[in-house]
Structure 1
């Protein structure tokens, strides 16, 4: 028996004959005060995120690819990092082909060591999906994956996120009930672009991540 097994066996024996203490957690304390109608969820999330320098736009499943095209054109962005094998990545790639959109689509398909300088210096914008949204705090939940690594939403100066209105939950507790099982090893909670006031208490955006955040909320069409 290894030292680890010996320690665990002692811990288990120490619990013999004991009675577990009842869990005092009361879900109503973190749930009931923060409940909204479907329309209120969108309104509240938009208001809270807009208040912290984010841009939130409402769209639908048919129109969001053109809206994304218009956003890139207005900002004169001709390169976009996305995940081409996701549903939203495939939809926008197909839209670009159909409309002869000249934007260059990049994929995060190499180890970071092979293109770190390019990612940090030359990629102006990224486009990712989201796992959910939280109305109570105006927050996006992003789940990094092999298709959409964490750096996609943390490095480019502009992060554009696609959020389904049906996946906006009232509060964090409710959102947790819909997280994938088993529990993901990494989730990002994003409430706005990167900002800091470390230097002379002057608020600056983009110091530790994207300077701008645009959220496209896809309502049921």
Structure 2
């Protein structure tokens, strides 16, 4: 029996019974009670305050907004997945265009140089966002690996407006992170940034210099 097994055995055989989790009050990190419009406004205010860009679009027309964005920023090579509906819709809409679609569902060793030197932007889906901090949350998959949002100079993230929740605690609770959290969940609150000893902020030093959120609404906004 290993040392670990011995420790666990002693814990299970405690004379005063099994350990129980203490009672905790999570009111300080939950219970904001914001409406959807308040969540949208808070999310946009916080993420744009750190140089994130938000483009509002409808779910029906979001690929048109994507094509316009790619043209405006001069993006010629876009890395994206294949299986997720966001990637599949983007591929269908851009198939006849001038943008080269770079497959992201490959072993990193087979396209390391291409990803770090020849890719203009990466497109990813999101699982939702947090209004309180202006953060996106992503669960990378083999189809949409984490480097897709961390390496290209521009990260384009597609977010559905109705998936924005009040706080990080609300996300963890609502989606059962305690029982099924991936090993590399990502929280993204703007483009990559760092600061030197004089606290001069620089963007894009260790990752994307731009973050653009295509915020999809169920219907056209008035």
TM-score between both structures, scaled by the size of structure 2: 0.91
* Residues 6-25 of structure 1, C-alpha deviations (whole Å, 9 max, x = no match): 33222322x23236456231
Distance 1:7 1:22, change over 3 A: closer
Moved more, 48-57 or 101-110: 101-110
Query: What is aligned with 1:131?
Result: 127
Distance (Å, rounded) in 1 between the aligned partners of 2:193 and 2:206: 7
2:78 pairs with 1:54:
no
The one of 155, 158, 174 equivalent to 2:154 is 158
User: Is residue 168 from structure 1 mapped to residue 167 from structure 2 by the alignment?
Assistant: no
String of CA shifts for 1:139-187, please: whole Å, max 9, x gaps.
Answer: 1001111111111100000000001111100111111123355222221
Structure 1 unaligned runs (5+)? none
Confirm or deny: 8 A CA contact 1:194 1:211 kept in the other structure. Answer: yes
Q: Does 1:141 align with 2:137?
A: yes
Inter-partner Cα distance in structure 2 for 1:193 and 1:116: 21
Corresponding pairs, count: 217
CA contact (8 A) 2:122 2:155 kept: yes
> After the TM superposition, which residues 1-221 of structure 1 pair with which residues of structure 2 at under 5 Å, given as runs?
1-13=1-13, 15-18=14-17, 20=19, 23-32=22-31, 34-97=32-95, 100-179=96-175, 181-198=179-196, 200-221=198-219
Contact 1:35/1:171 (8 A) holds in 2? no
CA RMSD after TM alignment: 1.7
Q: What is the distance in 2 between the residues matched to 1:7 and 1:22?
A: 19
- Poorly superposed stretches of 4+, deviation over 6 Å: none
